[in-house]
C-alpha cells in the first residue's frame, strides 16, 4: 500500500485494503494528493478511524438492531418499534451510511415530520426511536459521533391535559348500559380500576379474589397478525 503518481493527473494516489463492517476485505483507491507524504498520512488516519467506524448502510445496521432488540423486548413493544421505524425513519435514511448521517440530516428529517402535523407526543416518540438506534450504534458499534445529540429533539413528552368523566357523567353513561350486562361490567371495571383495555380482555375468573375484592392484573390481550395473543402487562406496575 504505497503511494504512487497518477499518470493521468500527475498527482499522487494510494491503493489500500481494509476490512468493512461485515468482515469482508475490500480494496479501494484514493486520488488527488499533492505529495506522497500527504497520501500516506491520509491512509494512516483512515485505517485508524476505520477500526472504530460504523460504515454500513442504515438499513443494514437496522437489521442488526432488530435482531438484538427482538430478544430483549416484548413482542408487542417490538412490533410498535418496527412499525414506527419502518414507516417514519427507514425510507429517509435507509440508503445512507451510518457514519455519514449528520446532525444537519437529522434536522432536515425532523422538519419533514413537523410539516405533517403530528401530535407533539407522537413526534417525540418517532424522534426517540431514531435516537435509540444511534445510541445503540455508539455504544456497541463504536460510532464516533451521535448526530441525534447535536440535532436535538422535537415534540414533547407530556400530552395535553386529559379530559376525564366525572362520576356524575359516568353514572349517566353507565345507566344506558343497564340492559347490556357484559358491556356494563366491562365499563364499570375500566372506570373504577383504571386498567387498560387489553388487561381487561385478558381477565379470567381465577384473577378475581371475591373475598379480598381484588383483581390480579398479570397479563394483557393483544391482537397481532389477526390472532389474539396473551402477553405480559405493559409495565411491572401493572
CB 199 within 8 A of CB 219: yes
Whether pLDDT at 126 is above 80: yes
Average pLDDT over residues 2-17: 90
C-alpha cell at 228: 389474539
Q: What is the pTM of this model?
A: 0.57
Q: Quick one: 136 exposed, middle or buried, by C-beta within 10 A (0-12, 13-18, 19+)?
A: middle
Average pLDDT over residues 198-211: 92
pLDDT of residue 238: 53
Name the H helices within 55-144. Answer: 58-69, 75-88, 90-93, 103-114, 120-140
* 3-class secondary structure, 198: helix
Task: Please report, for residues 7, 164, 173, the alpha-carbon distance to residue 161 in angstroms, rounded to integers and kept in the order given.
Answer: 71, 10, 22
Q: Which residues pair with 28 in a beta bridge?
A: 16
pLDDT of residue 160: 67
C-alpha closest to that of 16 among 36, 31, 30 = 30
Average pLDDT over residues 32-42: 91
Amino acid at each position: 500500500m504505497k503511494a504512487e503518481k497518477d499518470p493521468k493527473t500527475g498527482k499522487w494516489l494510494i491503493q489500500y485494503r481494509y476490512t468493512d463492517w461485515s468482515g469482508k476485505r475490500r480494496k479501494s483507491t484514493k486520488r488527488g494528493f499533492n505529495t506522497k507524504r500527504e497520501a500516506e498520512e491520509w491512509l494512516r488516519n483512515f485505517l485508524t478511524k476505520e477500526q472504530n467506524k460504523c460504515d454500513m448502510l442504515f438499513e443494514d445496521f437496522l437489521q442488526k438492531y432488530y435482531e438484538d432488540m427482538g430478544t430483549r423486548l416484548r413482542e408487542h413493544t417490538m412490533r410498535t418499534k418496527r412499525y414506527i421505524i419502518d414507516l417514519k425513519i427507514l425510507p429517509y435514511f435507509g440508503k445512507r451510511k451510518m457514519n455519514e448521517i449528520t446532525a444537519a440530516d437529522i434536522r432536515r428529517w425532523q422538519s419533514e415530520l413537523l410539516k405533517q402535523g403530528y401530535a407533539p407526543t407522537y413526534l417525540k416518540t418517532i424522534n426517540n426511536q431514531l435516537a435509540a438506534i444511534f445510541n445503540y450504534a455508539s455504544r456497541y458499534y463504536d460510532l464516533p459521533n451521535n448526530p441525534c445529540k447535536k440535532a436535538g429533539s422535537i415534540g414533547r413528552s407530556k400530552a395535553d391535559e386529559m379530559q376525564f368523566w366525572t362520576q356524575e357523567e359516568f353514572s349517566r353513561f353507565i345507566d344506558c348500559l343497564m340492559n347490556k350486562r357484559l358491556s356494563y361490567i366491562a365499563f364499570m371495571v375500566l372506570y373504577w380500576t383504571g386498567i387498560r383495555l387489553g388487561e381487561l380482555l385478558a381477565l379470567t375468573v381465577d384473577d378475581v379474589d371475591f373475598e379480598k375484592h381484588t383483581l390480579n392484573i398479570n397479563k394483557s390481550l393483544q391482537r397481532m397478525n389477526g390472532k389474539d395473543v396473551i402477553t405480559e402487562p405493559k409495565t411491572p406496575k401493572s
